[in-house]
Amino acid sequence: MNNSYQNKHSRTLVEPFKIVGDWNCQLKKLQEMFPQLTNADLHFQTGKEELLLARVMNRLNKERIEVIEIIRKGQVKRVM
């Protein structure tokens, strides 16, 4: 049981993360939720998601998986 938990937890920690959707819209939502996040913290370049995660983790003092969950909540796909 413990080994199973560790394997699941380890996969989650190294899970690749990609930004999807309109980042500018997500950026505004994140800044509303967390006013301490600066434009520099949320600066995004395609393919450099890990740098973005590291800056946000540092600013919010949260773990990687927590930051990913916060960002994913803002990645709502619009259905037209």
CA-CA distances (angstroms) from residue 20 to 6, 9, 10, 26? 28, 23, 23, 10
Q: How deeply is 42 buried, as exposed, middle or buried, from its count of CB atoms within 10 A (0-12, 13-18, 19+)?
A: buried
- Model pLDDT for residues 48-76, shown as the tens digit of each residue: 999 999 999 999 999 999 999 999 887 75
Q: What is the pTM of this model?
A: 0.74
3-state DSSP assignment of residue 50: helix
Among 9-23, 40-54, 58-72, which is the least confidently predicted range?
A: 9-23
> Does residue 22 surpass a pLDDT of 70?
yes
